[in-house]
Every structure is written in C-alpha cells, then in structure tokens.
Amino acid sequence: MIYQDILDDRALQSYLADLNARARKCGANGELDVAGLRDRILASSGRCEWCGENLVRGTFELDHVVSLNRGGRNETDNLVVACPDCNRRKGQKHPARFAAEIFNSTGRRTILVDKILQHFMLEPREQLPLFAANQRTEDLSDTCDRNDQPRYRW
C-alpha cells in the first residue's frame, strides 16, 4: 500500500488478516484490529521509523520490533512502520542489533532507534555479542517458517 493520510479499508483488512494469520502460525500472543493498525500507521507521520526515510506516496510495511520468532507479541505496541528495505534487512534480528546497524550505516538516531539503544544501554558503534544470553536458540521451524517473506507488502 502507498502511504497516505486516508487508508483504504479493504487494503487494511487484507493486511490485518495476513498479520494475524502469520502471528497465529508463529504461536504469537495478541491480535490486531483495523483501528489500531490505522492509528499505528498514521502515528509514523509518513516516515520509516527505523531509518527516517520519507514514505509519503511510497510503499511501506509494518515490522514487529521484537519479531514473532523471538517471542514478540502481535500488538500495535510491537509494530512500527518501515520502508521495505529496513523491514527486509531487519528480518529476525534482535531490535538492538538492528538499531545499532541503522545508526552505524546512516548516522541518524530516529526516535525508535534512540529508544531501543537507550533501553538496552548501548552506545552506537558498540559491537553486540554474537551469542546473547537472552537470545532464543530453539528451533522454531515447526511454528513459523523463518524464511517466510511477508505476503503483505503494500
């Protein structure tokens, strides 16, 4: 879908159905609704919340900050508006790792990147440990295909 101030209800319903179906497949808690989805999209002010790219009249996707495979919830508090490039690059990465990557590659600290870096008490350009103690390592292939590309590109 193209970012605009008035969002098509049918497109939102379709996107919502795909997000909720994927969350169920992954065994994630939570369920999204159209009003919450619309509010979440408009709250981004038409910018990718990861890199800050202007998305007005451009394509965008919704990204689970903590991915469903990592135990993230399927709720609006765990969603951000992302440009397709950021959404693909982040994939299943830990949000702190991706926030550091964004800052290191762009030099910009969006509100989201800053919030994540502060939450995890990271300084930009700090190397994250390869195997974090809190990282989930069990095989999730039964519940959610890690290589599943979202069908809901707008």
Task: Go through the domains of the chain in sequence order and give each one's CATH number.
Answer: 9-119 (3.30.40.220)
Q: What is the pLDDT of residues 29-64, one digit of tens each?
A: 999 999 999 999 999 999 999 999 999 999 999 999
pLDDT value for 7 = 86
**pLDDT (average), residues 88-93:** 95
pLDDT value for 39 = 94
Confidence of residue 1 (pLDDT cuts 50, 70, 90): confident
**pLDDT (average), residues 99-127:** 88
pLDDT value for 99 = 95
Beta bridge partners of 2: 59
Q: How far apart are CA 60 and CA 83, in angstroms?
A: 5
DSSP states of 10-51 as a string? HHHHHHHHHHHHHHHHHT------HHHHHHHHHHTTTB-TTT
% of residues, the chain, pLDDT over 70: 80
**pLDDT (average), residues 90-98:** 94
pLDDT value for 4 = 84
- Least confident span in 45-49, 52-56, 98-102, 104-108: 104-108
Q: What is the pLDDT of residues 130-140, one digit of tens each?
A: 565 554 434 33
Q: What angle do CA 141, 13, 94 make, to 5 degrees?
A: 40
**pLDDT (average), residues 71-82:** 97
> Does the structure show a pLDDT above 60 at 148?
no
CA distances from 36 to 21, 32, 46, 48, 102 (A): 17, 7, 16, 18, 27
